Each structure stands twice: as C-alpha cells, then as structure tokens.
Amino acid sequence: MKSLIVCFALACLAAVAQVSVPFPTGFKSPEVHDDHRVTFRLNAPKASQASCFGDWMPPGTSQKMTRDTNGVWSITLGPLPPSIYIYNFILDGVAIADPFNPRIKLRAQTSASLLEMPGDAPQLWQTADVPHGTVEIVQHTSRVIAGETRQVWVYKPPGYEAAKSRRYPVLYLLHGSNDQPAGWTQVGGANFILDNLLARKQSVPMLVVTPFGHAVPFGSPRELQSKNTAILEEYLLKEVMPEIEGRFRVAKGRLNRAIIGYSMGGGQSLQIGLGHLDLFATVGAYSAGVPGDFETRFKRLLDDPKGTNSKLKLLWIGCGKQDSLFARSQALSEMLASRQITHVYRPTEGGHTYTVWRGYLEETVPLLFKK
C-alpha cells in the first residue's frame, strides 16, 4: 500500500512539474464568452496528452485538448446553461485542478476547479442587491468520532444578530460523498439562494447547518465505510444538534427541524430523518443513495401509512433522469406510493451534479417551516 501511495504522489508531482510558470502574457483560464461557451487553457509544454472533464459531461469521459506551438493546451466547449460547474484537467493520465484558476473545489480527497457561467437574467444562486446572511464555521471536538476536530458550516439569515429574541427553525443540509461542508456554500450557492428567496418573501428565515458527512475517512475499506451513516447519525444527534441549539437561537421541536441531503447525504437524510420522526418533521433526498434495506428498515412506518403521514410534514424526493441513481429514487417513490405514504417525487433532466441539486434546493426551501 505504501509503495502505491508513493507512486501516486510521484505521478502527481510529475504532472504538476509539467505545468510551466510563469504563464504566458494574456493567459486566461477559464475564459467565458458572450455566447456561453468557455475556453479552458493549460500551459504544459512538456506534456504529451491533455484533456478536460466537466461535470456536465458523462462520468468517465473527457474532451481532448489541442496544443499550440508554445505548449499551451486549449479547448472551447459549450454553450453551457447558467450554473456553477466543477471541472479538472487530465494531464498525462493524472487529474489536476486548473493551475490558473483560483476558484478551487475542495473535496475529502483531491481537488478540482470551479467555473461560473452567468445567466442573461439573475439566478437565485448568485449574489444580488438584497440583505445577506452570514456563514459561520463552527469548530468543535467530537467525542463520537475519536476526538477529531470537526467543522460545521452554519448559515444565519439576514437580521439574525439584531433580532435578539427571535428563534429560528433549522435545516440540516447534508453533502455527498467526497465533498465537504463548504460544498453547499461554494458550489451550491445555498446562502445566496436563502438570501434571495427571503428577499422575495418566498421562504421563512432559518438556520442552515452542514456538518462534515464523512464520519469515517473517505476511501476507507468497504467494511468501515458501511458504518459511516450509523456513526454520523450518532454524531449528529448527540453532538451537532446540541452544539447548534446551545450556540444559536434555535426554535425547538420537530416541526422546526428538517433534514435534507444529496447523494450520500440523501441516503443519510432518509435513514436519520425517517428513523427519528420524533425529531424531524421534514425529510428530503436529492439523487439519494437510498439504503438497500429501506423496506425492512422502515417496515413499521410503511405498515402504518396513516400514522406516518401524520408525522411527516414533507417527504421530498428528486433525482435526475441521467443520474446512475435514478432507478433507486424511482423505485423508492413507487414503493412509498404503493404503501400510501404521502410524498413529493420530482424526476428531472440532469445527472449527478450541483446543477440539479441547486434547483431542488430552490424548490424545497419555500416549502419548509410554513405555518
């Protein structure tokens, strides 16, 4: 194992070494054009191959870049719809972030780059001339997770500091595999979505809490990964929720709590939320990794639709039709419908990307905590 790690590290260093510095005069990457196309460039005169992958492409594919006489590789792609996209280069077989782009997509492991394609009209996920909330990073030591220092990102709505007596409902917003709590802010634009919906009077003020969803190290052996959700559940219920409710002005009770997530976080939201309807009245799953034992795990809820429906204020499920997890979400919806469990099911176009999840957040936030 150590030799494999060393070989991978040397390959990464070799790839980075081929990216020459300084960059040529006038060099720009990415360069967004008025027609919504974008040009990517990579200054690597010693490289023999280079390609570009963006999350709007099918997984496992990439587009070959061409090299000019100065050793600059480039490609122009699009047009692309308005969104924030994740992309990277593959340089002689090694995936790297764009060395010229300061907007980095941090992950549990590896990194990539971010491309923002603006729209002709303002988008909910973009900053606007409206009152803004703040995002606070809370660090604490977890007893549940082996004494680790963990980060929790917390969105506070505009006016939170001034409204000293007001208490706020909480949306626990979970991220997916190989992501970090920063993802929902830096790529998902969750803070701006909340700001803009509030300014339009389409939602109620709320706190949004995103803990780090990898309770075991990302990339651990399968037998350890299988324990991730159970450990996260204990961590969320025993440490994160008490920390948030002790540090912030939180409205108590299940009607003031929602739990929603995408991918891995969607599966965690289903398992934790439906497993604790005494704590959560709203559960949402975007492109979820639906638990394989869902029907047996939640047999009691499925066998009592009247009782379950009385506890659920909202059960919201969505997935892109081009997502590899689409069949699992569709099967879950069909099962719930056959057992007369009230829920919203939203199949849409799109793959396993923040472009899809951002749209789902825009749709679900206005439904939360309405009296």
Between helices 228-235 and 264-275, what is the axis angle to 10°?
60
Segment 218-267, tens digit of pLDDT: 988 988 989 999 999 999 999 999 999 999 999 999 999 999 999 999 99
Is residue 271 within 8 A of residue 290, CB to CB? The reply is no
Is residue 181 within 8 A of residue 212, CB to CB? The reply is yes
Cα–Cα distance for residue pair 114/89, rounded to 1 Å:
12
The CATH number of 134-367, from 3.30.40.10, 3.30.70.20, 3.40.50.1820, 3.30.429.10, is 3.40.50.1820
Segment 185-220, tens digit of pLDDT: 999 999 999 999 999 999 999 999 999 999 999 988
pLDDT at 352: 97
Is residue 249 within 8 A of residue 166, CB to CB? The reply is yes
Indicate if 134-367 has the same CATH topology as 19-117.
no
pLDDT at 219: 87
> pLDDT-derived band of residue 119, with 50, 70 and 90 as boundaries?
confident
Is residue 280 within 8 A of residue 169, CB to CB? The reply is no
Q: What percent of the chain is predicted at pLDDT more than 90?
A: 88
Query: Which residue do the tokens 């603006």 mark?
Result: 118
pLDDT at 21: 52
pLDDT at 22: 61
Cα–Cα distance for residue pair 337/276, rounded to 1 Å:
21
Segment 304-314, tens digit of pLDDT: 999 999 999 99
pLDDT at 25: 67
pLDDT at 13 over 50: no
Domains of the chain, residue spans = 19-117, 134-367
Q: How far is CA 255 from CA 61, 90, 259, 305, in A?
A: 44, 47, 11, 19
Segment 28-54, tens digit of pLDDT: 999 999 999 999 999 999 999 999 999
> pLDDT-derived band of residue 17, with 50, 70 and 90 as boundaries?
very low
- Indicate left, alpha or beta for 319 from its phi (over 0: left) and psi (-120 to 50: alpha): beta
- 17-23 contact pairs (CB < 8 A, 24+): 17/46, 18/44, 18/45, 18/46, 18/47, 18/91, 18/92, 19/43, 19/44, 19/91, 19/96, 19/99, 20/44, 20/45, 20/46, 20/71, 21/99, 23/100
Residue 288: CB partners within 8 Å, gap ≥ 6?
A: 261, 262, 263, 266, 267, 269, 270, 317, 319, 325, 328, 329, 332
Cα–Cα distance for residue pair 209/315, rounded to 1 Å:
19
| Sheet architecture: strand order including 314-320 | 134-141, 149-156, 207-211, 170-174, 257-262, 282-286, 314-320, 344-348
pLDDT at 182: 96
The residues facing 116 across adjacent strands are 84
Q: Read off the pLDDT of each residue in 145-157 and give the average, rounded to a whole number.
A: 96
pLDDT at 350: 97
Q: Read off the pLDDT of each residue in 160-175 and give the average, rounded to a whole number.
A: 97
Structure tokens at 139: 């660090």
Segment 275-286, tens digit of pLDDT: 999 999 999 999
Segment 325-347, tens digit of pLDDT: 999 999 999 999 999 999 999 99
Q: Give ∠ CA 151-153-159 in degrees, rounded to 5.
A: 145
pLDDT at 61 over 80: yes
Q: What is the DSSP string of 212-264?
A: ---SS-TT--HHHHTTHHHHHHHHIIIIIHHHHHHHS-B--SGGGEEEEEETH
Count CB-CB contacts under 10 A for residue 123: 21
Domain 19-117 has CATH 2.60.40.10: yes
Cα–Cα distance for residue pair 300/314, rounded to 1 Å:
18
Q: Which helix (H) or strand (E) holds 11?
A: helix 2-17
Cα–Cα distance for residue pair 272/279, rounded to 1 Å:
10
pLDDT at 23 over 50: yes
* 332, 197, 127, 166 alpha-carbon torsion, rounded to 10°: -110
> pLDDT-derived band of residue 3, with 50, 70 and 90 as boundaries?
very low
